[in-house]
Structure 1
Amino acid sequence: MKEGTATMKLSSLLTCLVVVALAASAPAHSADRIAKIGILAPLTGNSAADGNEMIDGAKLAVDEINAAGGVAGYKLQVVVGDTQNQSADAVTSAIERLAGDHDLNAILTGYASGSNFEIETMAEQDMPYLIWANSAQTRDIIAPHPDKFPTVWSMAPSLDEYNTAMVPVVKGLLADGKLRLRNTKVALISSDNPYSKTIMNGLKKSFESAGWTVTSADLLPFGEIDNWRTFLAKVRQDNPAVIINTDYQPGNAGKFLTQFLEQPTDSLVFIQYAPSVPEFLKLTGKQATGVVYNLLGGTLNTPANPRAAEVIKKYQDKYGHEPGTYGPALYEEVMVYADALAKVGDPTKRSAIGKAIGDTHKQIVSGKLSFDAKTHLANQGDDSIPIQFFQIWDGKRVLFYPKQYADGEFRMPPWMQQ
């Protein structure tokens, strides 16, 4: 009996070893294979509202993909790098933390730094990198040698129309009798960062070329700005027909508008980007009625683009509030990456993933996405990614230009003489 028992135990041990060996040699199931996606986002500082929305948008897409079984045999997982104040040191540190994870083979962002210097690092690491802002900086880096950046692509189109589109839009409103202005004077102000400063300088040139008088073009240090009253005192003295603030931070924009309304002039007020962020409306409430802003690559939520309504509804259902620009943006970036991974089949084949991203042709929340091979920017235009002009009215964003996408009309702001 003892000898038989020993023989049985030996047989059982051998069987267990064979099972273990077979299990080790068997391919992993999709639940065991993880493809991590790094998200660079400013989770602390003045742009934290954007950063948190980026993470929420990315997670929304990842959860949806994983619930459907993953992609190419992989489940996706979001890992986050906080870019804080978007300084070079903070962005570099966040990238290093993300890139140190061997399961990470793609990085996505709305924006990481003001200059997009990190594009060089992504190219050196052969890292698929999708970005949704600062396209002028992206173009300046990539256009001289696009073949050196096969994995880097901008979901935002050229921002040139931020510099040029406003003058013809204002002229169109004047011609249609929807806007009445006392003069052709414009006052501009910006904070000292590449995005805002570039747009202010472009608008200055555009208005001057159209024969307008630029009464001021002031530049303030980048960061939190509590007091805009020195600039506004000069505005009240000059009484320009148009006032433009290109600082993109919603907290700053809210204070700017509140201080302007303490003693408003008979001027159209345009604020770059910030009014698109839900935080801006929370800060300003009904005071924001009449403010104008525009977006390139923003969510095109009209009947002509049902994709946007679909994504917004998913976001609202999950998080209980309406997104700004970067929730839908990061949702779409994850989907573009997932399409490329499905085509290539292996997340470690970074160059192939980059090429697949560059070949993208699909409808997204901001229009029809395809990429320019010379600049790696999304193509811009009414048949691709159009520029959109909005006016806030009673807490709602009214898209009034371009007309083929408009869901409402421009109205004279309440502080202007009717």
Structure 2
Amino acid sequence: MRRGSIAMRMSGLWTGLAVAALVAATPALSADKVAKIGVLAPLTGGSAADGNEMVNGAKLAVDEINAAGGVAGYKLQVVVGDTQNQSADAVTSAIERLTGDRDLNVILTGYASGSNFEIETMAEQDMPYLVSANSVQTRDIISPRPEKFPTVWSMTASYDSYNTAMVPVLKGLQASGKLKLPNKKVALISSDNPYSKSIMEGLKKSFEEDGWTIASADLLPWGEINDWRTFLAKVRRDSPAIIINADYQPGNAAKFLTQFLEQPTESLVFIQYAPSVPEFLKLTGKQATGIVYNLQGGVLNTPANPRAGEVVGKYKDRYGSEPGSYGPGLYEEVMIYADALKKVGDPTKRREIGKAIGETRKQTVSGMLSFDPKTHLSVQGDGGIPITFYQIWEGKRIMFYPAQYADGEFRMPPWVKQ
């Protein structure tokens, strides 16, 4: 009796252990189903503020998805590749490190390189790739043979509006009486990188076609720029109505503004992109009041687009700071990938994932997103991704164009005598 009792207890013990092992194995197997998301981001160098925001936005989305149970039976995980100064060597090294991981089947970024050369690499590996970088390069690479790039898609619409939208916007402000210009002279300056250079050249052409005099159009070497005074000396001599700086790095832009304000001219000052980065306001404070900038694919955080308020609110709650464009942008990129993975069911089916991404149509922080099959750029316009114009006033960004998204009005800069 005693021996049988022991045998029964031992049998029950082994059964219990087997059941426990099976139960323990089930979540372990589930936990092993990981789909890794590669994020290319400049975590060191002059664009580190953007890079950190990219990673923050991606992690915010991934944590939200995982907390809801994952997607298609997979938990997501962010893996980061530092593109440093966006040189070809640094970008290539970051890509090689990411793609060496067999659990990684998608790569996302705000921007990786200046030329977008990595698009070719992604296509060769059938790697799903969402990018928000210079759409001129993206279009030039993809449009001759879009079928060669089934997995590569741009969150950014055509940058043509960066070249063409400013003159009509200025005319509209003049017609409304909100902007008064003393002449039709414009001074332009840019650092020598594909993004900034192409925008400066496009603006130069646009202003010339409208009858403006180009007082100067200077190109400086790419990198950190500490002294803008040679250019500003010419500006003070010519007193142009508009000054445009196409360099997009916030540190450079902050130094430019500080040196301009040492002896300001009666000019409207436009700086490309940099004022949208939180770092710029930290560096300039109230000095930035009056500066104008625009964004293609910026965050439309107005009552007309509640999606943006939702995402920006989540970002602020998580990180305690107001994001620029790339935090919310990478959040959306992760969500778009998650939608595609849910549809396809298997992250290793890269071409199917790429196809599903290309079929996206959804409201995002930047407007209604869909993709042009001929260029793989996002569709631009009122029913797509609009270009938006902002003015900084006492530490706040006021969107004054387009009217349907505007949350304030343009005002003459404080250094201009009324």
TM-score scaled to structure 2, two decimals?
A: 0.95
Give deviations 1:183-222, integer Å, cap 9, x for gaps: 0000000000000000000000000000000011100000
Say yes or no: does 1:316 pair with 2:353: no
1:151–1:28 Cα change, 3 Å? farther
Name the counterpart of 1:297. 297
Name the counterpart of 1:271. 271
Aligned counterparts of 1:27 and 1:63: Cα–Cα separation in 2: 18
Aligned partner of 1:220: which letter?
L
Question: SS in structure 2 opposite 1:347?
Answer: coil
In structure 1, runs of 5+ residues without a counterpart are: none
Contact 1:302 1:405 in 2 (8 A): yes
Name the counterpart of 1:40. 40
Deviation at 1:28, TM superposition (A): 6.5
Aligned partner of 1:103: which letter?
D
Aligned counterparts of 2:20 and 2:397: Cα–Cα separation in 1: 61
1:399–1:16 Cα change, 3 Å? same
Aligned counterparts of 2:184 and 2:413: Cα–Cα separation in 1: 18
- Report the count of equivalent residues: 417
Deviation at 1:18, TM superposition (A): 8.4
Give deviations 1:79-109, integer Å, cap 9, x for gaps: 0000000000000000000000000000000
Aligned counterparts of 1:98 and 1:215: Cα–Cα separation in 2: 47
Deviation at 1:243, TM superposition (A): 0.2
Deviation at 1:13, TM superposition (A): 12
In structure 2, runs of 5+ residues without a counterpart are: none
Deviation at 1:383, TM superposition (A): 1.2
Deviation at 1:32, TM superposition (A): 2.6
Aligned counterparts of 1:405 and 1:16: Cα–Cα separation in 2: 63
Name the counterpart of 2:84. 84
Say yes or no: does 1:248 pair with 2:253: no
Aligned counterparts of 1:362 and 1:329: Cα–Cα separation in 2: 14
Contact 1:72 1:342 in 2 (8 A): yes
Deviation at 1:404, TM superposition (A): 1.1
Name the counterpart of 2:31. 31
Aligned counterparts of 1:303 and 1:21: Cα–Cα separation in 2: 53
Aligned counterparts of 1:294 and 1:157: Cα–Cα separation in 2: 14
Name the counterpart of 1:361. 361
Contact 1:292 1:390 in 2 (8 A): yes
Name the counterpart of 1:195. 195
Deviation at 1:241, TM superposition (A): 0.3
Aligned counterparts of 1:27 and 1:394: Cα–Cα separation in 2: 52
Deviation at 1:31, TM superposition (A): 2.6
Name the counterpart of 2:412. 412
Name the counterpart of 1:164. 164
Aligned partner of 1:363: which letter?
Q
Contact 1:307 1:363 in 2 (8 A): yes
* Sequence identity (%): 80
Aligned partner of 1:34: which letter?
V
Aligned counterparts of 1:23 and 1:392: Cα–Cα separation in 2: 57
Say yes or no: does 1:149 pair with 2:153: no
Deviation at 1:166, TM superposition (A): 0.2
Contact 1:29 1:73 in 2 (8 A): no
Say yes or no: does 1:181 pair with 2:187: no
Runs of 4+ in 1 over 3 A off after TM superposition: 10-30
Aligned partner of 2:150: which letter?
P
1:13–1:408 Cα change, 3 Å? closer
Give deviations 1:41-64, integer Å, cap 9, x for gaps: 000000000000000000000000
1:25–1:274 Cα change, 3 Å? closer
